Structure 1
Amino acid sequence: MVTFVLVAGARLGAWAWDDVVPHLRAAGHGVRPLTLSGLAEKRDVPAGQRTHVRDVVDEVERRDLRDVVLVGHSYAGIPVGQAAGRIGDRLRRVVFVDAEVPADGASFLSAWPDGGAAVTARIAENGGHWPVAPTSHYAGHGLTEEQIARIVAGSTPQPGATLTEPALLDRPLAELPATYVLCRLAGAEPPPAVAGLWAGGHWERAEMDTGHWPMFSRPRELARLLLAAADA
C-alpha cells in the first residue's frame, strides 16, 4: 500500500480531488488530499511559497507517512517539487499533473511573459491575492458546464506571495523518481524544463487527451495513471 498526497493547483483545495479519491482508495491505497494554506477552508491563513512547501512536508512528517506518492497539479508542482526533495526516503514517487516545476531561485511567475508583471499588477490591485478566474478561463479543456461551475464556485483567491517567492531546491529535479502527466488539450508540449528531463530519460512520461483540470474532466483515467505511476 502506498499513500497518495494530492495537491491541486492555484485557487483550489482538497475538495478538487473528490472524484479521484474513491478510485485510489478502491485500489487499497491511502489517500490524503491536502488544502494549502490561504485557500478553501484555510483561506484565512497567511501564506507564501515557503508556507506551501511546509504544508506538504508537514503533512507527510506529522502523520509519519511512508511510501508516499506526492501529486502536484498545475501551480502545486512548485511546492510539491520542493517538498519531494525534503522528505527523504519517505518518497516513493512524485507525479506532476500538467504542472509547473520548480527552478532554484525562480518563482512561479518567473517563466511567464514579462516575468508575470500583469499578474503581479492584478495581485496588487486585489489586496495581495490573485483573483478567482472567470468561467471563460476554463473553455476548451474538456469540461462540462456543470464541472466549470463547480470549479468556479469552489475557488478562492490565491495568496500573491505563493506566486512571487522563489523556489529553493534541496535536491535536483533530475534525481527525483518522477512522472509527468501532460494534458494535451492544455498544450501539445510540456514546459521546457520538463521536455529536457524527458529527453534525458530521467522522468516517466504520461499523457491524457483532456484539458488542464483532469481531476474534474477525467477522474477515473487520472486515477489509473496515478496508480501506474506508483508502480513505476
Structure 2
Amino acid sequence: MTEFVLVGGWFTGTHVWEATAAELTAAGAGAHAVALTGLDGPREDGTDLETHVADVLAVLDSIGADGRDVVLVGHDYGIHPAVAAADRRPGRVARIVHLDAGLPQDGVPALAAVPDQALRAELAGRAAGDGGVLAPPAHDEWRRWGSTDGLSDAALDRLTALAAPQPLGTLLQPLRLTGAAAALPSTAVLCTRNGVGIALVQAQVDFGDPALQALADPRVTFFELPTGHWPMLSCPADLARVLLRAAAGEGHRLTPAGTAEPPAHLRPFLLDVPERPRERTGRVDLYPADAGEPRPAVLFVHGGPVPADARPTPRDWPALTGYARYAAGEGVVAAVLDHRLHDVSDYPRAAEDVAAAVDTVRADPRVDADRIALWFFSGGGLLAADWLQAPPPWLRCLAATYPILAPLPNWGLPEGRFRPVEAVARAGALPVVLTRVGRESPEIAATVEEFRTAAGRHGADIELIDVPDARHAFETLDRDEAAREAVRHAMRSVLARLRS
C-alpha cells in the first residue's frame, strides 16, 4: 500500500486536502495531510521553515516502515519543507511529487518562489526571526498567488475563509539540503492553466541550461492537469488519479538535450533564404541592405525567458537569422537582438536592452531613422507594451508572432507595465501585424484573444494573420505551405508599412 504525505502551500491548512485524501483512501492508499504549525491551529512565535520541516518529519516517522511506499507531495510553498524532510529521511521516501511547485535549492529561502515580484522585493529586507506574518489574500487577491481557474465560487469562498497568515520565518529562512533528496525519484504535476506545461519545460531543457538537465533523468516523470494552481480543490479526483500513477512510476519523461533530433529552436527555417552579410555590435547583429541610401529597418526581438547559459544564443537561432536574412533580401536593414530575459524577473532589464538596440539601429548611417519596425516573438511580446503605450513617430509598424500579450498567472510581474492588453488602448494609429497560431497553448491563446478584444474596443489598427494548423515556433516546426505563406504575408505587411 502507498502512503501519501500531503504538504500544503501558502496560507492553507489540511482542509485543502480533504477531497483528494478521500479519493486516495477510496483507492486503497493511505493519505496523511500535514498540519503545519501556524497554518493549522494557533499561531506560535518563532515559527520558521525548520518548524515546518519538523512537522513533516513527525508525520513521516509516524508511518510504519513495513514495506509501504511513502510518496511525499508538496504544493507550492509546501515543496520546501517536503524536500527538506526527504533529505533527512531519504530511506523513508519512495518519491517526491512537486505539485505545481518549483525546484527548491540549498541555501535559497522559499521567498524566492513567491510569484508576486513586488511583494518578494518588499519582504526581502525582513529578518527570518522577527516573528512577523504575511496576511492571507483577500477573496479577489488569490490570483496574485496562482491561477484560480477551475475553482468554484464556493471553493474560493472557503479557501479565503480558512486561510491563515503565513509566518515570515517560513519564507525567509534559507533551506538546508545535503543532496540526499536529489537521488530520490520525483514527479512534477504541472497545472497548465497556471502557465507551465511539459512542452515548455522540455524547451527549457533543450536550451541547454545545466541546472535543468536533471529534469531529463529517467527517474523524473511529469503529468499535466488542465486546471489552475489549486487542483486539490478544482479537480481532486483527477489529482488523486495522477498521484496514484506517479506512485507507480508512470508519467512523461523528458528527452535529454542533444540526444535526439535538433530541438525546435535549432531546426532549419521554413523558407529557403540566401545567406547575408552580418555585423555584430554588442548585443545586436545587423544585416545591411543592398542599397546606397538609408533604408528602413526592422528589429527582431526574441521570446523567453531563455537561460543565460543557453548556447547558441537567440540571435544565432535559425528562425531569427532566417527572418533577418529574408528582410535584408527585401531591401531593408534587419537587426536581431540578444536581450537578457533569462527569468520572468528580467523583463525590466530586457526592455532596457530593446531600447538600447533601437538606438543602435537608428544611429546607423545606413538606416532611415524615421522608418523603424519592431517585431516581437513569444514571451518577448510583453516587451511590446512600452511601444504600444507611447508609440514614437518613427515607429511605423509593430509585429507580434505567436506572442504572449499578458503576463501568465504564475509570473507575478508588477502592475502597470509589460501588459500589451492594457497598453493597446494608447496605440493610436500604430499598425500592428499579429500572427496567431491555431495550435497554441490555451494559456497563451487567451492572452492573444484578450489583446484582440481590447484592440477592437479602442479602435487599434490590427491586421490578424491566422495560421490554423501551426504551432508555437512554427517557423522551424511546420514546413507546410500555409506556414510559409504566413511568414511571407507577415513580412509583406510589415515592409509595406515601413515603405509607405
TM-score (norm 2): 0.43
Where does residue 73 of structure 1 map in the other structure?
Answer: 75
The secondary structure found in structure 1 opposite 2:97 is: strand
Select between 79-88 and 146-155 the one with higher mean Cα deviation.
Answer: 79-88
Shift of 1:46: 3.9
The one-letter amino acid paired with 1:90 is: R
Note if contact 1:100-1:108 (Cα within 8 Å) is conserved in structure 2: no
2:77–2:113 contact (8 Å) kept in structure 1: no
| Aligned residue runs from structure 1 range 108-187, under 5 A | 108-110=110-112, 113=117, 116-120=120-124, 128-139=132-143, 140-171=148-179, 174-187=182-195
- Does the residue aligned with 2:41 lie in a helix, a strand or coil? helix
1:2-23 per-residue CA deviation (whole Å, 9 max, x = no partner) reads 1111111011111110111111
Is the contact between residue 43 and residue 156 of structure 1 (CA under 8 Å) also seen in structure 2? no
Match for residue 229 of structure 1 among 246, 254, 269: 246
| Structure 2 stretches lacking a partner, 5+ long | 250-500
Change (3 A) 1:118 1:128: same
Aligned to 1:48: 48
Q: Decide which structure has the larger Cα Rg and report it.
A: 2
| CA–CA distance in structure 2, aligned partners of residues 149 and 119 of structure 1 | 27
Matches for 1:90-109 after TM superposition, within 5 Å: 90-109=92-111
Confirm or deny: 8 A CA contact 1:82 1:169 kept in the other structure: yes
1:15 equivalent in structure 2: 15
Q: Distance in 2 between matches of 1:119 and 1:137?
A: 18
**Could you say which residue in structure 1 is the equivalent of 2:3?**
3
Kindly indicate whether the alpha-carbon contact (under 8 Å) linking 2:12 and 2:162 is maintained by their aligned counterparts in 1.
yes
| 3-state SS of 1:136 partner | coil
Give 1:207's aligned residue: 224
Per-residue deviation, 1:197: 3.3
The one-letter code matched in structure 1 to 2:247 is A
In the alignment, structure 1 segments of 5+ residues that lack a partner are none
Which digits, 9 at most, give the CA deviation of each residue in 1:82-139, with x for residues without a partner?
Answer: 1112213211111110013320011011355479222457999x96001111222335
Equivalent pairs: percent with the same residue?
37
Read off the aligned partner of 2:69 and give its amino acid letter.
D
Q: Which residue of structure 2 aligns with residue 60 of structure 1?
A: 60
Q: Which moved more, 1:33-42 or 1:209-218?
A: 33-42
Q: 1:134 to 1:27 in 2, by over 3 A?
A: same
8 Å CA contact retained: 1:3, 1:68: yes
One-letter amino acid of the counterpart of residue 98, structure 1: D
Number of aligned residue pairs: 231
AA matched with 1:24: L
CA gap 1:177/1:119 in 2 versus in 1, 3 angstroms: same
The alignment's C-alpha RMSD in Å is 2.7
What amino acid is aligned across from residue 159 of structure 1 in structure 2?
A: P
Q: Which moved more, 1:62-71 or 1:212-221?
A: 62-71
My pick for the range that moved more, 36-45 or 83-92, is 36-45
Give 3-state SS (helix, strand or coil) of 2:91's partner. helix
CA contact (8 A) 2:46 2:131 kept: no
CA distance in 2, matches of 1:179, 1:166: 24
Distance in 1 between the 2:233 and 2:123 partners? Answer: 25
* CA 202–30 in structure 1, closer or farther in 2 if over 3 Å, else same: closer
Question: Shift in Å at residue 188 of structure 1?
Answer: 2.2
Q: Which moved more, 1:53-62 or 1:24-33?
A: 53-62
Query: Which segment is superposed worse, 182-191 or 139-148?
Result: 182-191
Kept after mapping to 2: 8 A contact 1:174/1:202: no
Provide Cα deviations, 1:120-172, integer angstroms capped at 9, x if missing partner: 57999x96001111222335422111111010001100000000000111225
Give yes or no for contact 1:4–1:68 (8 Å, CA) kept in 2. Answer: yes
Aligned equivalents of 1:230, 1:63: Cα separation in 2: 17
- Identify the range of structure 1 (34-43 vs 179-188) with the bigger mean alpha-carbon deviation: 34-43
Most deviating of 191-200 and 104-113? 191-200
Aligned partners of 1:8 and 1:74 also within 8 Å: yes
